[in-house]
Every structure is written in C-alpha cells, then in structure tokens.
C-alpha cells in the first residue's frame, strides 16, 4: 500500500480500508463482527424503525405523550434499542416550530431508529453551517420554511441523541398506522425535510 506520509491526500475509502486492516492486524476488531453490524444496520435496522415510531405517535396520542416525555423508553416499547440508542430525546415539529439535528463534533446519531448516518450528516460543512445559518442550509437541502417558523438546532452527543417527530401532513387523517410508515423519511426525522402527503 502506498501512502503520502500522513495519508491526508488518500481518498477516504482507502484511509478507512487501511485503518480497518491495521485494527484487524492488532486484534482490536473482528471483520466478521464488523460486517455483521453493518449488515444489521443496513438491512434490518434503519429508518424503517423510526418511521414506525413516528406513525404510532401520529395515530396513538397516549404513545405520542410517552414518546415526548421519555423517548428512549417509548422507542424501546416497540423493540428498538441498542448501541447508539441508549438515550434518545424526541422533539416535535409543529406549524410554528421546526427542529433540526446535527452532531457538531462527529456524527452521533440514533442508529436503532435511523440506521447508519448519511454522508451529508457527517460532512463538516453541514455540521458547522446548520448551527450558524439553519434556515439557509435547510433551504439548500430543499426545505423552505416560513419566516415566522422558529428553528431550533439540537446537537447530538455520545450522551444524548435526538429524533424529530415530524409534523403529520394534512390529508392523511384517514390513513392507518401501517399506511403512514412508508411516508416517513429519515431526513424528516433529522429535520431537514418534511413528510409529504401521498
């Protein structure tokens, strides 16, 4: 393998591969375990879990209350828990209040309900700009909010991870919990998008 000293000029994929190889050689990670974790979060876990949480909250007022009071416990009621989900706080978007989530230090993210974080979530530009100019960043991502909508940015950490309960779109009152699930996107649960009616 060829390096350029510090490796800063190598593509991220090559640096990741080199780091994995080094950690494996030193016995610090088991590639089979790592592959299992990645497969689990890409296929069995992910935004579908979060969408189920949101749909239940939209259709069950008592569950919604519990979710906003103690997100971790309410999410666990549906069987979703595990690493990166030990303490999840849920905030609710309304017509006048919009929440968006970022991790300014790295990429802390509630894996049990959102799966693996998208690349834009880990991007330094998103992590720094959404705190300073959230309305502009959301607009660039395709979400236009009225000037009178108050935006609150929540910084996820290793101790507390945030999940946004998106606003239920008008015209979906007749839909069942199961019918609502496919409408809910990962981006809406991070707060960079809204859920659209079908």
CA–CA separation, 133 vs 128, rounded Å?
A: 9
Alpha helices in the chain (DSSP H): 12-25, 31-39, 47-59, 61-69, 71-77, 111-114, 119-122, 124-132, 134-140, 177-180, 186-190
Angle CA 120–124–130, to nearest 5: 75
Catalytic residues: 103, 106-108
User: Could you tell me the two tokens for 77?
Assistant: 């009621």
């Amino acid at each position: 393998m060829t390096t350029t000293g510090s490796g800063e000029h190598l593509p991220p994929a090559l640096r990741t591969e080199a780091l994995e190889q080094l950690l494996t050689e030193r016995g610090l990670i088991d590639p089979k375990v790592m592959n299992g974790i990645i497969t689990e979060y890409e296929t069995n876990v992910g935004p579908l879990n979060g969408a189920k949480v949101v749909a239940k909250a939209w259709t069950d007022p008592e569950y919604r209350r519990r979710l906003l009071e103690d997100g971790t416990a309410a999410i666990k009621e549906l069987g979703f828990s595990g690493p990166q989900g030990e303490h999840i706080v849920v905030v609710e978007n309304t017509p006048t209040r919009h929440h968006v989530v970022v991790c300014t230090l790295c990429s802390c993210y509630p894996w049990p309900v959102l799966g693996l974080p998208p690349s834009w979530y880990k991007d330094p530009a998103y992590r720094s700009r959404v705190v300073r100019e959230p309305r502009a960043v959301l607009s660039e991502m395709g979400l236009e909010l009225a000037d009178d909508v108050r935006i609150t940015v929540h910084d996820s950490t290793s101790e507390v991870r945030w999940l946004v309960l998106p606003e239920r779109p008008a015209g979906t009152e007749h839909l069942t919990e199961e019918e609502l699930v496919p409408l809910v996107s990962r981006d809406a649960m991070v707060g960079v998008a809204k859920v659209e009616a079908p």
